[in-house]
Chains A and B, each alone.
Chain A
Amino acid sequence: MRSLADRPVNPSVGETVAHESAALHVTGTALYTDDLVFRGARVLHLWPVQAPHAHARVTALRTAPAMTVPGVVRVLTAEDVPGTNDAGTKHDEPLFPDEVMYYGHAVCWVLGETLEAARLGAAAVEVEYEPLPSILTLTEAIAAQSFQGNQPTVARGDAAAALAAAPHRFTGEFEMGGQEHFYLETHASLAHVDESGQVFVQSSTQHPTETQEIVAHVLGLHAHDVTVQCLRMGGGFGGKEMQPHGLAAVAALGAVLSGRPVRMRLNRTQDMTMTGKRHPFHATWEVGFDDDGHLLALRATITSDGGWSLDLSEPVLARALCHIDNAYFIPDVEVHGRIGKTHKTSQTAFRGFGGPQGMLVIEDILGRCAPALGIDPAELRRRNLYEPGQSTHYGQPVRHAERLRDVWDQVVERSDFEARRQQVAAFNAAHRHLKRGIAITPVKFGISFNFTAFNQAGALVHVYKDGSVLINHGGTEMGQGLHTKMRQVAATALGLPLGRVRLAPTRTDKVPNTSATAASSGADLNGGAIKDACDQIRERLAEVAARKLNVHPDDVRFVDGRVTGIGFHDQDLSFEEVVGAAYSQRVQLFAAGYYRTDGIHWDASRMQGEPFKYFSFGAAVSEVEVDGFTGAYRFVRTDIVHDVGDSLSPLIDLGQIEGGFVQGAGWLTLEELRWDTSDGEHRGRLATQAASTYKLPSFSEMPEELNVHLYERATESGVVYGSKAVGEPPLMLAFSVREALRAAAAAFGPEGTVVELASPATPEAVYWALDAARSAERSGPGAPRSKTGLPARHDGGAAAPGAAAPGAAAPGAEETARTGTPGAADADGRRPEPVART
């Protein structure tokens, strides 16, 4: 019972229980930040004045006209800020800017008696702008060398030499889109000033401590003057890790200045135009394989679109660099990372945090190169999976690499992969206008914050005299089921039925200095802290019980609300009795718990170390069907085997896996952010700023058959009750969908067709991919392949066995590949080679 991973008998963890707020959710009685507005009186409302320029200087700001609008109370501007006019932890985000950095940037906020008054007041504010040149796309940023933050390189071995010696070399270029979080609950804060100047902010935030810090920073107060509470969020997905702070600060400023409660809620349009998203990435790459398809070397430059401020772009980039291997061993690696600075929203954390983008690069490489190598994509991937004893390119041994292969083999078996490949082939032979594709992809994802200091957590556990338990921890609930798991952890540690444990809302005056609920680490960190607090209390109670039971304290057991001596069944005490006795004996019945992840280290300057406590593994097989007339598709079936260690709460974990998978499929297929990149007057405006134009998955994108299996006997030593994190890794199982679409598109062409697929693979993108494959068919073998965009090949014509695909090894292949955009040269000035561009 002393080890973090060991479970006692009859533990609450591992039981299938509903979300702890499920009954509140379904009855509409669960409260979100903006629901609280209607419980208070005299609440004021905020509306932003958003700039209609991608980049401009504010030359005049006249607020007086707004004050003539009935119901307008005040206009909040930079002059009102008592502390620092800055909302970013990097101090590069003026809260009230005099330089507009993106279309929709809020230059000031209007406070009104009603939302309508605030809106009309905002319309009345007169702002003059001097438009400035703007950079919008990654292509523009690279061309202009518009970068921000650090430019790290992660390397192992000698990639240049290994590439030169590789029997098969390919180069390519790839650009992937970002993703809007589209949490159903938009950003919201409700601030008021309590007795004696204590500022109380309720906020939909994944990082209450940082919200507290920024509010204090803006107001010129100390942290102890500000309390932040988060009841729950209507979804976060990383979008509320960094973005809520400034918005909460505006509400707090309004409350301080007006003396009244102030509500800030972004409507959907404001939320989409003002807050950050997943980073788009651009990659140029060069890869080498041996004759058997083993990866030999990878040299790449990846550039993220960070938007206007740095935000979390550096750690996002670091995670991308650390995940460019996904689950594959690459002996020699040299990857450079850069962060583009553009006049767009400040891109930020989003489930996976750069991991998906890094992993997508290698998955795209393998998907494009497999036919050119003449190796089946599934076989190519399996051949390159990490073996036990191997380490990542940043120097971390891949512990339990055998589980990765085991997970892979299990999903192959469970999905009936081999037989279904035959069925898909038969289907494709029988259908001219419909083609199916089936693909398998793995996931290996490192768990822990790359930023080592964040890997700590606190908790506060109270046992009341009646034996009821109230727990509090630093993590926030955004739907991921953290609170459910934390109740199960506490019930397990105290040997109580789940119903005896109640959880109190997350607030900074209960548990201080918390880390963001992010990086999938919520249950690992806070669970460790809660267990620590409960263990302290249980050990004190064990001494009390031992005296009553006449046994050694080490032999006292707490099971299902009863307290017994080990092996004794004739004599037991109720938990309440023991608690009552402890109180009488003046034994402390509450405890603060603390947890820090041990054994991790990271040298950010060298990009080497062991930043992750462990890796999560998973693999998915997806089958899709594509309509040759339109490129439209449906998701026929997906099978997943995923490793969550020993699950703390199977229903919760299943929900995270399925939801993450569908969200990943949305990113890769459907969700498309489009900005106005013209030189017109709306340059920089987000064109997809509503649910009607930005489509997230609905029922129609759920695989018609979805089978998820939790990998068994997967105890993760060193983590609370043997579990593993689950929040982010399943998102990347969706690579299987994208690769299945590639396979289906290829099926419209001759065998071995190389398919380039844009990301997201919208029906339009799939249509162009399959149309190119069809053109290849029409042209016939050996004909020039003008549209397929084959990865350019540099193997001196030494065609791999089976690489008989038309044109695959043709000398003309390099010529057919389009040259990369100007400025796409690597930062170190290497000569850009001909590349295929998506």
Chain B
Amino acid sequence: MEPIQVTVNGQVRNADGAGPHTSLLDWLRGQGLTGAKEGCAEGECGACAVLVARPDGPEGATWTAVNACLPPALAFDGQEVLTAEGLGTAPGACAVEDLHPVQREMAQRGGSQCGYCTPGFVCAMAAEYYRPGRSRAEASAPEETGTGATGEDHAADHEVGPNGFDLHALSGNLCRCTGYRPIRDAAYALGAPEETDPLAGRRHAPAPAPRHTRLRTGAGEFVRPGSLEELFDELDQHPDAVLVAGATDAGVERNIRHTRPRLVLAVDRLAPLRTLRTSADSIELGAALTLSEIESALDGRVPLLAALFPQFASRLIRNAATLGGNLGTASPIGDAAPVLLALDAALVLASRDGEREVPLADYFTGYRTSVREPGEIIRAVRIPLPLARATAFHKIAKRRFDDISSVAVAIAARVEDGTVEDVRIGLGGVAATPVRARATEEALRGRPWTADTAVAAAEVMAGEGTPLDDHRASARYRRAMLEQSLLRFFAQTQPAESLEVSR
């Protein structure tokens, strides 16, 4: 059997000692690379962030920041990883200070206080530093609708520095000391990488190919199948196997709830799951594309998804998380499902017997359950074209960046000559599954798009689902937010100067 090896900071290290349930973070720390820290063990704080060389097309690579606490170390067999230790050198016994530009800015500007979150910030910042095209001016054009007046841009507003640095690159990193201002200043002060910078140069060669990894220990087995057929074989033999792409959910299960599946199947690099096809009547998104990859490839082509992405967890999570994983867990509070419901998306489910297409609205059957059969996987998500013109995504959460929604509402409407010709509304957080707001849709369909219609439909909307009281929000607030979201959508679709909603 091939040895399992991970290249860390340019040095090849043997990783045979890692078990199927060893996170990349624990393995790195066990190697003595203690720069990456555990802060939360659920991908929320970014103290464990490291850089990974990921494909940027077939010919290039991109330094991508991910949380090391979530994915299994074995998923990095054959891959290249960088930690804060690999970016620069601190002065020490017989060592001369040689800081990376990101490290220098962070150190000199007071970007570190206790320093515990700092290596993770440095890695997340370095990924943005090396992002191709960062230096392009990326100021977003002002919206034409009334969104600025309704506060619609609050949750997702792009904060971009004069150097093109997208602050959302750091939305998955928490600092409890600084208040963030000096970190932002450090990020916005970064120039372009130098020509001679080897890490910049690394981007011009292909990313390492995935390896056909297979390791069994007493604790379980890790397999990265080389093909769909092999994956189906494994699923046949081990129906209880856990499929892992970015491990942003499975990693939390392992770390917090201590689940230890007998077999972990890594599917994140399987080519059939990584397609992005556009035809005249649909867009097909591969289930194992990361959200960042979809975001970048679509480049705003689907406005409702473009509204979703900046609010979906953090950049660190989006660099690993996939639609397949998000829908595969069938969580009632995932933010992708409401949006995809509003887009009338369908799932392409694949098994040894072939493929079938299931409308997402028919996919969920109950709390974390779905129509997906044993041995069946989500291969892709299909979004029908043309897209509805008027759309909105309203995420209600305590925090603007990187929070789990208490309520998520996605609306896609076709309004022609002042009449709601068609509308789909997807809801998250108000029932055991993501649901369509069918009664509200009915109250809108065929009606003139007026304030009276909006108010009447908002009342219906307030009765959708069965919201609960929990630590995120009260049921009463959730109901109020359902109601308000329709009023807000109406306000958003009106010209800014005539923003009046009678209640």
Which residues does A use to contact B, with CB under 8 Å?
18-19, 21-32, 35, 38-39, 116, 119, 181-186, 232-237, 267-269, 431-434, 478-481, 625, 627-630, 632, 634, 651-652, 654-655, 658-663, 670, 672, 674, 687-688, 690-693, 695-702, 706, 762-764, 767-768, 771, 778
Contacts and interface: CB of A to CB of B under 8 A. Distances in A.
A26, A236, A672 pick with most chain B CB within 10 angstroms: A26
A21 B115 contact: yes
Interface in B365-421: 394, 396-404
A213 B108 CA distance: 38
B297 to A, nearest CB: 26
B174 interface: yes
Contact of B179 (A183, A663, A695): A663
Nearest to A676: B471
Contact of B115 (A232, A237, A778): A232
Nearest to B29: A38
B90 A29 contact: yes
B99 A268 contact: no
Contacts, number: 273
Contacts of A233: 114
Given A28-B85, A701-B399, A696 B176 contact: yes
Contact of B35 (A27, A480, A697, A701): A27
Closest 7 pairs (CB-CB, A-B): A28-B35, A479-B114, A234-B116, A25-B115, A28-B84, A662-B179, A691-B44
Contacts of A688: 471
Contacts of A21: 112, 115
B181 A658 contact: yes
A699 B180 contact: yes
B396 A763 contact: yes
B131 interface: no
A300 to B, nearest CB: 29
B154 A26 contact: no
Contacts of A659: 113, 176-179
A232 B400 contact: no
Given A38-B32, A184-B47, A434 B150 contact: yes
Contacts of B107: 18-19, 22-23, 25-26
Contacts of A771: 480
Nearest to B399: A695
B42 interface: yes
A236 to B, nearest CB: 8
B500 A184 contact: no
Given A267-B255, A479-B113, A702-B180, 11 more contacts: A21-B115, A23-B103, A28-B119, A38-B34, A234-B117, A237-B176, A652-B110, A692-B40, A692-B404, A698-B174, A700-B171
Given A18-B107, A25-B115, A433 B150 contact: yes
Given A655-B182, A700-B171, A26 B122 contact: yes
A203 to B, nearest CB: 15
Interface stretch (B318-326, B434-442, B485-493): B485-493
Given A23-B91, A27-B85, A234-B37, A433 B110 contact: no
A304 B176 CA distance: 25
A670 B399 contact: yes
Interface in B171-230: 171, 173-182, 184, 219
A627 B150 contact: yes
Interface size class of B (residues with CB under 8 A): 35 or more
A185 B37 contact: yes
B42 A690 contact: yes
B84, B111, B173, B399 pick with most chain A CB within 10 angstroms: B399
B485 A658 contact: no
B184 A38 contact: no
Given A26-B88, A629-B485, A701-B399, A479 B36 contact: no
A184, A236, A702 pick with most chain B CB within 10 angstroms: A184
Nearest to B157: A634
B471 A693 contact: yes
B220 to A, nearest CB: 12
Interface string B20-56: 0000000001101111111111101101000000000
B276 interface: no
A233 B99 CA distance: 23
Contacts of A25: 106-107, 112, 115, 118-119
Nearest to A666: B176
Given A235-B116, A629-B484, A763-B396, A433 B42 contact: no
Contacts of A35: 29, 34
B34 A627 contact: no
Contact of B84 (A27, A181, A634): A27
Contacts of A768: 477
B151 A479 contact: no
Residues of B contacting A: mostly: loop
Contact of A269 (B89, B116, B175, B256): B256
B117 A19 contact: no
10 contacts: A22-B112, A29-B90, A116-B219, A234-B37, A433-B150, A627-B150, A632-B396, A659-B177, A691-B45, A768-B477
Contacts of A184: 37, 39, 45, 47, 114, 116-117, 174-176
Given A38-B29, A432-B499, A692-B404, A630 B34 contact: no
Nearest to B104: A26
A662 B180 contact: yes
Contacts of B485: 629
A431 B497 CA distance: 9
A573 B453 CA distance: 88
Nearest to A625: B151
Contacts of A628: 151
Given A26-B84, A480-B113, A632-B155, A119 B258 contact: yes
A24 B115 contact: yes
A695 B473 CA distance: 13
A706 B184 CA distance: 12
Contacts of B501: 432-433
B103 A27 contact: yes
A480, A628, A661, A674 pick with most chain B CB within 10 angstroms: A628
B396 A699 contact: no
Contact of A630 (B104, B115, B258, B396): B396
Given A28-B35, A690-B40, A654 B403 contact: no
Contacts of A24: 90, 115
B472 interface: yes
A768 B97 CA distance: 54
B149 A234 contact: no
Given A699-B167, A763-B398, A655 B178 contact: yes
Contact of B110 (A629, A651, A674, A702): A651
Contacts of B38: 267-268
Contacts of A235: 114, 116, 176-177
A629 B171 CA distance: 24
B92 interface: yes
B33, B37, B97 pick with most chain A CB within 10 angstroms: B37
A181, A232, A268, A696 pick with most chain B CB within 10 angstroms: A268
A628 B501 CA distance: 12
A663 B181 CA distance: 13
B154 A634 contact: yes
Given A659-B178, A662-B179, A702-B184, A28 B116 contact: no
B179 A32 contact: no
Nearest to B260: A116
A479 B89 CA distance: 21
Contacts of B472: 693
Contact of A433 (B40, B92, B115, B151): B151
Nearest to A26: B103
A233 B402 CA distance: 26
Contacts of B477: 764, 767-768
B146 to A, nearest CB: 9
B392 to A, nearest CB: 11
B430 interface: no
A235 B112 CA distance: 11
A632 B45 CA distance: 22
